[in-house]
Chains A and B, each alone.
Chain A
Amino acid sequence: MAESAMTRRGERERYDIKLLQVDWGFALVLSLIAGIGVLVLYSVGGMSWEPWAYNHVLRFGLCFLFMIVLALVDLRWWMLLAYPAYGVSLLLLVAVELVGDVRMGAQRWLEIGSFSMQPSEFMKLSIVMALARWYHEAGTKDAVLSWKLLIPFTMIMAPVLLVAHQPDLGTAMLILLTGITVMIVAGLDWRIIGTAAVGGAVAIPFFVLFVMHDYQRKRVLTFLNPEADPSGDGYHILQSKIAIGSGGLLGKGLGLGSQSQLSFLPEKHTDFILAAVGEELGFLGAFTVFALYALAVFMALRIASLSHSHFGRLAAAGVTATFALYVLINGAMVMGLAPVVGVPQPLLSYGGSVMTTVMIGFGLVMGVKVHRYQELPRTQSFLSHFE
């Protein structure tokens, strides 16, 4: 009944029908990941709901409800808001550049009254929406090889440069890679991809040597040889590896990890929470977390492939790309495969802004699932199709 109802225009607008179409399996996987997060936060908080575990539950609960609500929003609204959201995000980034608050040596925060925010967080989502809309409206050939590709390229590079200048290289890299992924799945010509890959490989050493700030360069060099300075910059990487490695197959047990409990592990509740998982729950626990992340990515990609609208496909794929990049970069960083860049593990790490961004993104992905049969017009005047 449900499938057939979805194909009928009048039926599928009903909210009870839409609620049935929400991907509850996907929601369960996300909840499981957040649940493991709560468990570990309870443990590293000294076997206590305070200070982190309780807040994590509360945050995830609220974000979960928000995600379900967003899933019911018509895709045309998402599309309508794509460019304005991108524009506002870009303006906020410029504002941060001009009047932003310097915290921990980087200019990332914008104070509005007593409320402070990080515009780069909004940009992660709005860049995906804006690119999806552009490709939705562009021709097939434009997406492959055309001078018009300079438009999405500029759309990506403007926020990337602004965020990199703050300087927040982690987020800048995340936005850049998300944008590139969207361009690739939209059908970018392999020759461009190849040329860019070779060019990037050549440019990176120059970038490290001449463009990076001292502390950023130090982090990269430390990553390449962490044992050279075990008490300084290499400390985080080394302690994280010790925590994971000492966990063994089955782990030391919740609340029994000496590395996480005795504060040898830095940022054990945020960026390095995966190390705490590895130490206390062992290979089995950490591998389960990775398996759940992989499952979430595949479920989201399947949703993307189901969509009948190109906007829906690219938006879902873009959000998934952001999510997957979070997981991979953080995982590599915690295990000593990448420099320490300050990227948290989504849903697992304690912290509000990333959780909010990711769950709003998944609200869009859910919306793509719910509205997969909706066909969006290609023209600028699609608004006329609203009732």
Chain B
Amino acid sequence: MSEPSIFFEDVNEKQGTFHRRIFLMGGVTALGIFALGGQLALLQIVQGGKYKRLSAANQFNFRVVPPPRGKILDRNGNVIAGNRPSFRVLIIRNEIDDLDDTLDQISYVLPQVQDNRRRIVRDINQSQRFVPTVVAADLTWEEFSRVNLFAAEIPGVQAVMDEIRVYHYGGAFSHVVGYVSKISEKDLEAEGENPDPLLLHPGFRIGKQGVEKAFDKQLRGVAGAQKIEVNARGNIVAEDPDGTRPPTPGEDITLTLDAEVQARALEVFEQDSGSAVLLNIHTGEILCMVSAPSFDPNLFVSGISSKAYKLLNEYERRPLLDKAIGSTFAPGSTFKMATALSFLDAGVDPSERVVCRGSYRFGNRTFRCHGVHGSVDMRHALKFSCDTYFYHICNRAGVDRIAATAHKLGLGELFDLEIEGQKSGLVPTTEWKRTYFDGTKGRPKDPKWHPGETLSVAIGQGYTTVSALQLAVYVSRIANGGKAVTPHLIKKIGAVDTDFDFKPLGIPPEHIQIVRDGMEMVSNDADGTAFRNSQLNLGDMKMAGKTGTAQVINYDRAGTRKATQWKNKDHGLFVCYAPVDNPRYAMAVIVQHGIAGGRFAAPKAREIMKVALLKDPELQARIVAPPPPEPVEAAETAPPEVESTEVAPESNEYIPPVP
């Protein structure tokens, strides 16, 4: 080194520099602490108010409190669709770092989570990150407490108790009342721009079918809000009773349906496929509207497994389909009252006789009757369901007149029913044929109506299709003397009889009396097609009906009159009303592929009708205290099974000479 080292090596020089620099260091530290103190004052004193608000916003949260969904009641106040408490576990994706890890932790307390893991992961990935997803529902109280104890430790997991829809009658009302289910993207879009926050609530269920869908807005109610104190994980620490607005429960809806009749109806169908509709002929109140086989709507509330859904959907007898209003069938011989009324309208004398020899030759085709009935007039044609009679006369009335009468009576019509899903079916006319078979859309060009086709229409075959509801309305309009009653499902509270003052259809009462006579003979003459299966055994109360068997395949082409496969067998139909002397109820039963109406549909109709009659207070009085029997003139001419003789003298008039 060139410099004189003695100066620079001086200890005091080192110390002096150090002292100056350490003073500087103290100063810098002081400056730093001073800056921190300044920032502290800025945050706590200057901006304190702002941060106090933010802190409160952190601490308090508003939670949507779902309203209890309105109940659906039957006409007597029995709860068809109600609510029950449900314990569930939810996951909020936004608050979870590792989903797998969280699910592992939950499945430690709830093993069932492990089983449904794939579905849960799919659900979570499909929903928005801040929307809670249900991972387990319907926990027992024990499981629920276990989760509650444990969930507080897992971020993003909540154990909650809320209400869930329950259908008390199993499958009896599945189609008409419908069911609620998880809201879909499509439902959400349908709600418009600003959907009710309630819709995003994980417990929310929207009506998907039937009454639940049609009256969803009324049943839903208005969500409440609850002010809660939460911690950083969103777990509730405390509730603030002052900041709470209670939810408005949904409205209850009372239906015209009668739970007992409905339940009995599903019961009598057993394994059979079909539907039954029972109406009050004066008011149009639907007491029973059942479609069989049915399904358990409760399955859809918590989410049906795709396997179970597939089974329901692919089952040959179509449990998911509403066969009461959403399926149409050829009416078969149940259509003959409409044909007969059109004959009368065309001026046909009801006493005109036609001889039935088992078939009818028209042009170069032979139309077969199901029996050899000999000489029959109109009433007996109905009683024996003789096809030959109708083949013979139908072209005098013409297909358009038949169709006009059928439409008047409600066939082929859509009614102003409260729920969706009606199918109109078809009652063909020459006009329809002209426009339908115009050679487009793969249909043959055949616009002309052939008189032979009228023969098929006259006996309810051919192009004709109707629904069970239409058949019930049709019989009601016959039974109430030609008034344009329309069906409805929602009970009008405080309604009086004048509310049900339906307009007359313009069919002369004497015409209607003739077909009613025919129907009465079907059920109450020993040789009527439904005599055996129409006996109510309710004293003097009788039923009048009409059977129908609708062909499904063309037997001529099949070469045999016996179908071996279920799906090829004939449909069995039966329409009826009761009591005969003062009609109140009308009903239609369709047994899909039920072979024959008299044998398979009529007994079902009888059983269902019996329940309805027994429940009617006025009719009940009649059964409990029957009026004193009048002096009997032509006693015991009625069939021996019939205990009472009240109606027998009347029907005596029409006993025809046996052919």
**A215 CA to B263 CA, complexed, in Å:** 66
Give the residues from 42 to 63 in chain B that come closer than 8 angstroms, CB to CB, to chain A: 43-45, 47-48, 50-52, 54-56, 58-59
Question: Which residue from chain B places its CB closest to the CB of A261 in the assembled complex?
Answer: B231
Q: Which residues of B contact A328 (CB under 8 A)?
A: 29, 32-33, 36
Judge whether B22 and A305 touch: CB under 8 Å.
yes
Judge whether A258 and B37 touch: CB under 8 Å.
no
Q: Which residues of B contact A244 (CB under 8 A)?
A: 40, 43-44, 51
Interface residue count on the A side (C-beta < 8 Å):
53
Judge whether A245 and B51 touch: CB under 8 Å.
yes
* Known pairs A264-B232, A305-B18, A310-B14; A287 contacts B25 (CB<8 A): no
Judge whether A242 and B55 touch: CB under 8 Å.
yes
Give the residues from 270 to 289 in chain A that come closer than 8 angstroms, CB to CB, to chain B: 278, 282-283, 286-287
Judge whether A186 and B18 touch: CB under 8 Å.
yes
Judge whether B44 and A249 touch: CB under 8 Å.
yes
Interface size class of B (residues with CB under 8 A): 35 or more
Judge whether A262 and B237 touch: CB under 8 Å.
yes
Judge whether B44 and A185 touch: CB under 8 Å.
no
A297 in complex: contacting residue of B14, B29, B56, CB < 8 Å: B29
Encoded as 1 (CB less than 8 Å from any B CB) or 0, chain A from 296 to 339 comes to 01100100110000100110010011001001100110011100
Q: Which residues of A contact B45 (CB under 8 A)?
A: 248-249, 283
Q: Which residues of B contact A26 (CB under 8 A)?
A: none
Judge whether B18 and A310 touch: CB under 8 Å.
yes
B55 in complex: contacting residue of A143, A246, A287, A304, CB < 8 Å: A246
Judge whether B33 and A258 touch: CB under 8 Å.
no
Judge whether B41 and A245 touch: CB under 8 Å.
no
A185 in complex: contacting residue of B25, B41, B237, CB < 8 Å: B25
Question: Which residue from chain A places its CB closest to the CB of B48 in the assembled complex?
Answer: A248
* Known pairs A259-B58, A290-B37, A328-B32; A245 contacts B44 (CB<8 A): yes
**A242 CA to B54 CA, complexed, in Å:** 7
Q: Which residues of A contact B19 (CB under 8 A)?
A: 305
Judge whether B231 and A262 touch: CB under 8 Å.
yes
Encoded as 1 (CB less than 8 Å from any B CB) or 0, chain A from 44 to 76 comes to 000000000000000000000000000000000
Q: Which residues of B contact A122 (CB under 8 A)?
A: none
Q: Which residues of B contact A247 (CB under 8 A)?
A: 44, 48
Q: Is A372 an interface residue (CB 8 A)?
A: no
Judge whether A241 and B51 touch: CB under 8 Å.
yes
Q: Which residues of B contact A248 (CB under 8 A)?
A: 44-45, 48, 52
The CB with the most chain A CB atoms within 10 A, among B33, B39, B41, is that of B33
**A8 CA to B462 CA, complexed, in Å:** 132
Q: Is B1 an interface residue (CB 8 A)?
A: yes
Judge whether B40 and A283 touch: CB under 8 Å.
yes
The CB with the most chain A CB atoms within 10 A, among B1, B36, B48, is that of B36
Q: Which residues of A contact B10 (CB under 8 A)?
A: 140
Q: Is B492 an interface residue (CB 8 A)?
A: no
Q: Is A109 an interface residue (CB 8 A)?
A: no
Q: How many A-B residue pairs have CB under 8 A?
A: 154
Encoded as 1 (CB less than 8 Å from any A CB) or 0, chain B from 407 to 443 comes to 0000000000000000000000000000000000000
Question: Which residue from chain A places its CB closest to the CB of B5 in the assembled complex?
Answer: A139
Q: Which residues of A contact B305 (CB under 8 A)?
A: none
SS class, residues of chain A in contact with chain B? helix
Question: Which residue from chain B places its CB closest to the CB of A245 in the assembled complex?
Answer: B51
Encoded as 1 (CB less than 8 Å from any B CB) or 0, chain A from 236 to 274 comes to 000101111111110000000011001110000000000
Question: Which residue from chain B places its CB closest to the CB of A297 in the assembled complex?
Answer: B29
Q: Is B619 an interface residue (CB 8 A)?
A: no
**A258 CA to B229 CA, complexed, in Å:** 10
Question: Which residue from chain B places its CB closest to the CB of A330 in the assembled complex?
Answer: B36
A317 in complex: contacting residue of B1, B11, B22, B47, CB < 8 Å: B22
Q: Which residues of B contact A144 (CB under 8 A)?
A: 17
* Known pairs A140-B10, A244-B51, A245-B51; A283 contacts B25 (CB<8 A): no
**A282 CA to B40 CA, complexed, in Å:** 9
Give the residues from 168 to 217 in chain A that come closer than 8 angstroms, CB to CB, to chain B: 181, 184-187
Q: Which residues of B contact A184 (CB under 8 A)?
A: 21, 25
Judge whether B29 and A278 touch: CB under 8 Å.
no
Judge whether B39 and A337 touch: CB under 8 Å.
yes
B26 in complex: contacting residue of A283, A293, A297, A335, CB < 8 Å: A297
**A258 CA to B11 CA, complexed, in Å:** 57
Q: Is B225 an interface residue (CB 8 A)?
A: no
Judge whether A313 and B59 touch: CB under 8 Å.
no
Q: Which 8 pairs show the lowest CB-CB distances between chains A and B?
A: A245-B51, A246-B55, A262-B231, A263-B232, A141-B8, A187-B17, A185-B21, A283-B44
Complex A-B: 14 CB contacts under 8 Å: A140-B8, A143-B17, A242-B51, A243-B55, A244-B43, A244-B44, A264-B59, A264-B232, A287-B40, A290-B33, A297-B26, A301-B26, A310-B15, A317-B25
Beyond the given A141-B5, A335-B36, could you list 13 further A-B residue pairs with CB under 8 A, ordered by the A residue number? A140-B9, A140-B10, A140-B13, A141-B8, A241-B43, A246-B51, A247-B48, A249-B48, A262-B229, A262-B230, A283-B40, A301-B29, A305-B18
